Amino acid sequence: MPFVQYEIDKLYGGTASFIHPMGDGYLNFTYDTHATDTFAYYSSPANIAVPDTTERYTTFSLTGEVAATRNLSLSAGFYNTIWKLLGSQAVIDQTTQQAYLVGITRTLARFDPHLALVFRPGRNVSYRLSYGRRKPSRLPDRSAGCRRISRRRIVELSAYLLQKNPYLNPERSVAFDLGAETRLRRT
């Protein structure tokens, strides 16, 4: 029997911003909400890999740039993101060995600051120091659904188990950046 994978992904959301000028700088308040709705099965509709699962992201952010002196500016972004998972998790009844789906809801909130300091000693040169952190998003098929065994076609009798874990925490990424920019004269 040929292997069949069916998956449907829907994306939706919206964003609203309010920008307020401040001298040579600005402040920007943004509300963003977006979501993915996923459903997937393998081989046949009875073999559900990911039941209807929704991930919602709601982010409130305040960003801006302020000129501290004529040559020095501070850029900042403060992001508060709320992640919500609505899905199902397979549970096996130990007495009957039957699997059934139980609804799961999980919410995580995260505050992520981004800061940058830019020094421009001349018209054609600038130095930059920046810092930021972020929580990357996860895929719904790692969080919701039934565990399954996936067979590799290259090596016979080789398989691995995919266990869904709705309580798997997202990874964090932190970045520092030190850089310089210069404009070269035209020849």
Q: Tens digits of per-residue pLDDT, 78-134?
A: 999 998 888 887 777 778 877 677 888 888 888 999 999 999 998 889 999 999 988
Q: What per-residue confidence (pLDDT) applies to 54?
A: 86
Backbone angles phi, psi at 140, to 5 degrees: -60, -30
Reported as a single tens digit per residue, the pLDDT across 167-176 is 777 778 899 9
Q: With bands split at pLDDT 50, 70 and 90, how would you rate the model's confidence at 17?
A: very high
Q: What is the pLDDT of residue 80?
A: 94
CA distance 82 to 60: 9
Element (DSSP H or E) covering residue 77: strand 72-92
The answer to whether residue 47 scores a pLDDT higher than 80 is no
Strand ordering across the sheet containing 125-134 = 5-22, 25-42, 48-67, 72-92, 99-119, 125-134, 173-182
Cα–Cα distances in Å, from 137 out to 19, 162, 177? Answer: 27, 19, 22
The identity of residue 125, as a single letter, is V
Q: What pLDDT, on a 0 to 100 scale, did the predictor assign at position 136?
A: 65
pLDDT of 72 > 90? The answer is: yes
